[in-house]
A and B are shown apart, each in its own frame.
Chain A
């Protein structure tokens, strides 16, 4: 309780002291530390924090259980690092930035501890509003901020309906009572997958993530989408018997993962690529949860169900830290070069900062499933989850999971393709522009912490398995001692030891380093191709790297090769965006029609509207009583 209060107090102090950016951010960091402490304590035993009766049957209830604890720890490690990063980064923006960060952190804290619909909705809306204004901190971002707001409000409306259904069934707003309520489940599911940026509700992210300040993009990618993930965990736990949602999750998750990875592979923008990668990661979580709940009610598949649940948690951890590291590092690079395209930020490692370059490399490699990083462990577990699903008896379910597994595998491959592009052209690329000096000590420290986490969490993944309460998935085999082996099936069939992997890679790395350091007289020469030095005009560009994906999947990307005189370029678009563009144009036309014909400030139409509304209301009450 004391840590809970300290967290809230720190965030409030952060809000009050927003005009002092550094102080405000320090309060945000302290608040995160206390929130993590709350999470750790809540993981040991559930806590009831507040139960405040407002009216009869209506009360505000705050508390912590195991699920909210896990999410609190993950979200506030990420949030805390973002807040520390913001000490220097916020100097590039107005002082209001610290205010919005503290508000969103406080609201997030309440979202993850809310046990009733009212406190959940209020906190949920507070995050939306704080993020909306923080997006506006970058100039000319009205369109992007409103796109975010529109999708968030659709999510809120769906939640309103879900909680309305909860009230209609139980006469209360306590979320834990929503057991077996199909209407609640349907609308809450919709609300949370929108929040997770699952395809086809993702179209706003490419422009919004791209235009937002990088710390806000990191918040959007990790803590904000964690709300959706948290919500899905909650509603599945309340309704484990509704199989159809599990199947939808597997199918939607796999299709969405592939779509996200595909768009990431196509992307040329520094922040659009990780934005699309967010869709892929969240979709993988959804698919994994789908398998966990599809198999939860079959006694013989309990091991698989639990393994799928553990997989979902691992992907959350991997996504949260790798993606935060990536957004913060590329944000640093973006500001240092004042550029948005990957092609134009070459040489981050050499010219911006080694830590920043390493941040992009390590985070990118983790998201490419490079061993022994945490992303590798989570992707291996996800594939194992799909492989082990052969144990499901039902043939149609087998076919669905096989099909989804194929899509997920393709998604992982394409994701690796996209991340290598980002690493190769930005962190390790050729410098094309002079670097702007920005004060970046806290930014570098934050990036370094995240690099450490991404590497270390892969190494200690057996400890995480134990920490999350799943020791049954650890074993030993041959030369690998117990509990360093993660086991995906019993009898043992499908194993991985990230720790041993990491040790072996470290040994090889040290051996190579030693060998290299012995060669004192190594002559360095300029790179050449075909016998001549490479000119700047001959450097491979990112468009060329992406073109193979755009060209092969022409119908999906609407790829067009444009030639205008001596200018040539490739144009492609996310196909789903064309659908939303159509909807936007249609609604603009309809609203324009209404504003010109009916709502055109004409007194006659206004009176007719009032009378019409009055008659409809009377009729309603007449026939419904």
Chain B
């Protein structure tokens, strides 16, 4: 399975940024025929228009830009003749801050906060992917010590994001007590971040060539508190699985098929819920025993189950990493051979909702060009597909199960 992550046209030639698990890089434009979604990805910052359904009865039900159902400023154009969503076009442009343009001409340290501000929920993942791209361009390799720290923080970020997405899903399904409890756990997670790492969303931790160091015993204390949160999550999550009313709302809702993957190229828990994985942790040396969590149904329930199981999996990874971390000493980053230095680099990280990829070109220690490929870009496209044919009641159960963010999509 391979994905088209982006279309790079930094100079006059156009290249494709593709990924197939073991390989991520630029390929020739001639391969575009392999990707059905090439055209819309090329125009990813405009309104996606799938079809123009018409009839005297059909009208455009516009949800947004300011609507109770939208947590971010955006518009869902829902073509309908009542209840049934016949076609969905999403306008994410309201959240565009042109972060890629803002990065150009800045130093690496100035650009990191911009990468972190693409989407606060994925702030650490963005900073990792961005700095990794710079490191590749500069010919730097992180030390084992820093790599372990990177894994720990990425998994911490995954835990609170998954809890947040499940909380949103349960809010939509009117599970008030459960959702309030989950939101409390989410708040607990981010307040632990603040308490131990001085940043609610793990910002200012990743730098080029290093990860901010913290005392080793601090991680042990943090782990104890995180375990309590995860155990509480597991307890109430298992309890929620007894509610047939809740599960009925998610079961068979927003089903995606492999054909939808070929048409949109999404990844993350949405793909894992269909029994496929492109999780880059599978191919990372730092997480070599990693086995992705897979489900088969491809619906909202399956996506939620993947996330819930990943919470436990992430805790295990954190535990193992902290154990290893206790025995590892800090080192400086390794400088690669001069021949491996380039003017451009590609960096990736596996965020809670899918792979984040940065392609950067540098010149004189400054950013010359950036292309950011975010999971939400593909997920909103998948949401469009998943919503078609469903009734309005299923709208929140579908949308909230993807964990996509407009700020992440529009950058």
A-side residues, CB < 8 A to B, are: 341, 343, 529-532, 534-535, 537-541, 543-548, 551, 561, 563, 566-570
**Residues on the B chain within 8 Å of A535, using CB:** 60, 62
Tell me the B31-65 residues at the A interface (CB within 8 Å): 51-65
Once bound together, how far apart are the Cα atoms of A530 and B56, in whole Å?
A: 24
**Residues on the B chain within 8 Å of A543, using CB:** 56-57, 81-82
* A569 close to B52 (CB less than 8 A): no
Given known pairs A544-B80, A544-B81, A568-B86, the reply for A538 and B54 (CB within 8 Å) is no
Q: How many A-B residue pairs have CB under 8 A?
A: 80
* A531 close to B65 (CB less than 8 A): yes
Given known pairs A547-B82, A567-B53, A568-B81, the reply for A538 and B62 (CB within 8 Å) is yes
Once bound together, how far apart are the Cα atoms of A568 and B81, in whole Å?
A: 8
Known A530-B62, A543-B81; 7 more pairs at CB < 8 Å: A538-B59, A538-B62, A541-B81, A546-B82, A551-B83, A567-B55, A568-B86
**Residues on the A chain within 8 Å of B61, using CB:** 538, 540, 544
Once bound together, how far apart are the Cα atoms of A569 and B296, in whole Å?
A: 33
**Residues on the A chain within 8 Å of B55, using CB:** 567-569
* A544 close to B83 (CB less than 8 A): yes
How distant is A546 from chain B, measured CB to nearest CB, in Å? 7
**Residues on the A chain within 8 Å of B57, using CB:** 541, 543-544, 568-570
* A530 close to B81 (CB less than 8 A): no
**Residue in chain B with minimal CB distance to A551:** B83
* B53 close to A530 (CB less than 8 A): no
Once bound together, how far apart are the Cα atoms of A535 and B62, in whole Å?
A: 10
Contacts A/B (CB < 8 Å), 25 sampled:
A341-B56, A529-B62, A530-B64, A530-B67, A531-B64, A532-B62, A532-B65, A534-B62, A535-B62, A538-B59, A538-B61, A539-B59, A541-B58, A541-B59, A543-B82, A544-B57, A544-B80, A545-B82, A547-B82, A547-B84, A551-B82, A561-B81, A568-B55, A568-B57, A569-B56
B75-94, CB under 8 A of A: which get 1 and which 0?
10000111110100000000
Query: Of A534, A548, A563, which one neighbours B82 at CB under 8 angstroms?
Result: A548
Once bound together, how far apart are the Cα atoms of A181 and B311, in whole Å?
A: 82
* A566 close to B60 (CB less than 8 A): no
Interface SS of B by simple majority: loop
**Residues on the A chain within 8 Å of B241, using CB:** none
Once bound together, how far apart are the Cα atoms of A538 and B54, in whole Å?
A: 13
Query: Of A532, A537, A548, A561, which one neighbours B59 at CB under 8 angstroms?
Result: A537
* B81 close to A566 (CB less than 8 A): no
B236 CB-CB contact with A under 8 Å: no
Once bound together, how far apart are the Cα atoms of A541 and B391, in whole Å?
A: 16
How distant is A504 from chain B, measured CB to nearest CB, in Å? 35
Top 10 A-B pairs, shortest CB-CB distance: A547-B82, A544-B82, A543-B57, A531-B66, A569-B55, A530-B66, A530-B67, A567-B55, A541-B59, A543-B81
Once bound together, how far apart are the Cα atoms of A220 and B83, in whole Å?
A: 35
**Residue in chain B with minimal CB distance to A537:** B60
How distant is A540 from chain B, measured CB to nearest CB, in Å? 7
How distant is A285 from chain B, measured CB to nearest CB, in Å? 33
**Residues on the B chain within 8 Å of A538, using CB:** 59-62
**Residue in chain A with minimal CB distance to B58:** A568
**Residue in chain B with minimal CB distance to A268:** B57
**Residue in chain A with minimal CB distance to B73:** A531
**Residues on the B chain within 8 Å of A539, using CB:** 59
**Residues on the A chain within 8 Å of B54, using CB:** 566-567
**Residues on the A chain within 8 Å of B53, using CB:** 566-568
Given known pairs A530-B65, A531-B65, A532-B65, the reply for A569 and B81 (CB within 8 Å) is yes
**Residues on the A chain within 8 Å of B60, using CB:** 535, 537-538
**Residues on the B chain within 8 Å of A540, using CB:** 59, 61
How distant is B53 from chain A, measured CB to nearest CB, in Å? 5
B247-290, CB under 8 A of A: which get 1 and which 0?
00000000000000000000000000000000000000000000
How distant is B60 from chain A, measured CB to nearest CB, in Å? 5
How distant is A458 from chain B, measured CB to nearest CB, in Å? 34
Once bound together, how far apart are the Cα atoms of A270 and B135, in whole Å?
A: 70
Once bound together, how far apart are the Cα atoms of A538 and B75, in whole Å?
A: 13
**Residue in chain B with minimal CB distance to A567:** B55
* B83 close to A547 (CB less than 8 A): yes
**Residue in chain B with minimal CB distance to A532:** B65
How distant is B312 from chain A, measured CB to nearest CB, in Å? 39
Once bound together, how far apart are the Cα atoms of A546 and B84, in whole Å?
A: 12
* A530 close to B83 (CB less than 8 A): no
* B56 close to A343 (CB less than 8 A): yes
How distant is A526 from chain B, measured CB to nearest CB, in Å? 15
**Residue in chain B with minimal CB distance to A547:** B82
Query: Of A530, A534, A537, A545, which one neighbours B75 at CB under 8 angstroms?
Result: A530
**Residues on the A chain within 8 Å of B86, using CB:** 563, 568
Once bound together, how far apart are the Cα atoms of A535 and B64, in whole Å?
A: 13
**Residue in chain B with minimal CB distance to A539:** B59
* B82 close to A530 (CB less than 8 A): no
Once bound together, how far apart are the Cα atoms of A322 and B65, in whole Å?
A: 43
Once bound together, how far apart are the Cα atoms of A529 and B63, in whole Å?
A: 8
Once bound together, how far apart are the Cα atoms of A544 and B64, in whole Å?
A: 19
Once bound together, how far apart are the Cα atoms of A537 and B55, in whole Å?
A: 11
Once bound together, how far apart are the Cα atoms of A538 and B59, in whole Å?
A: 6
How distant is A319 from chain B, measured CB to nearest CB, in Å? 30
**Residues on the B chain within 8 Å of A561, using CB:** 81, 84
Once bound together, how far apart are the Cα atoms of A545 and B83, in whole Å?
A: 9
**Residues on the B chain within 8 Å of A546, using CB:** 82
Once bound together, how far apart are the Cα atoms of A566 and B55, in whole Å?
A: 8
Once bound together, how far apart are the Cα atoms of A566 and B86, in whole Å?
A: 10
How distant is B80 from chain A, measured CB to nearest CB, in Å? 6
Query: Of B64, B82, B391, which one neighbours A570 at CB under 8 angstroms?
Result: B82
How distant is A105 from chain B, measured CB to nearest CB, in Å? 39
* A566 close to B51 (CB less than 8 A): yes
**Residue in chain B with minimal CB distance to A550:** B82
**Residues on the A chain within 8 Å of B52, using CB:** 566
* B83 close to A548 (CB less than 8 A): yes
How distant is B162 from chain A, measured CB to nearest CB, in Å? 30
How distant is B300 from chain A, measured CB to nearest CB, in Å? 21
Once bound together, how far apart are the Cα atoms of A530 and B80, in whole Å?
A: 18
**Residue in chain B with minimal CB distance to A528:** B66
**Residues on the A chain within 8 Å of B67, using CB:** 530
**Residues on the B chain within 8 Å of A569, using CB:** 55-58, 81
**Residues on the B chain within 8 Å of A551, using CB:** 82-84, 391
**Residues on the A chain within 8 Å of B82, using CB:** 541, 543-548, 551, 570
How distant is B75 from chain A, measured CB to nearest CB, in Å? 7
**Residues on the B chain within 8 Å of A343, using CB:** 56
Once bound together, how far apart are the Cα atoms of A529 and B58, in whole Å?
A: 19
How distant is B346 from chain A, measured CB to nearest CB, in Å? 38
Once bound together, how far apart are the Cα atoms of A535 and B77, in whole Å?
A: 12
**Residues on the B chain within 8 Å of A567, using CB:** 53-55
**Residues on the B chain within 8 Å of A568, using CB:** 53, 55, 57-58, 81, 86
Once bound together, how far apart are the Cα atoms of A546 and B81, in whole Å?
A: 9
**Residue in chain A with minimal CB distance to B84:** A561
**Residues on the B chain within 8 Å of A566, using CB:** 51-54
Once bound together, how far apart are the Cα atoms of A625 and B62, in whole Å?
A: 82
B379-391, CB under 8 A of A: which get 1 and which 0?
0000000000001
Once bound together, how far apart are the Cα atoms of A543 and B82, in whole Å?
A: 7
Once bound together, how far apart are the Cα atoms of A343 and B86, in whole Å?
A: 20
B82-119, CB under 8 A of A: which get 1 and which 0?
11101000000000000000000000000000000000
**Residue in chain B with minimal CB distance to A344:** B56
Most chain A CB inside 10 Å of its own CB: which residue of B51, B52, B81? B81
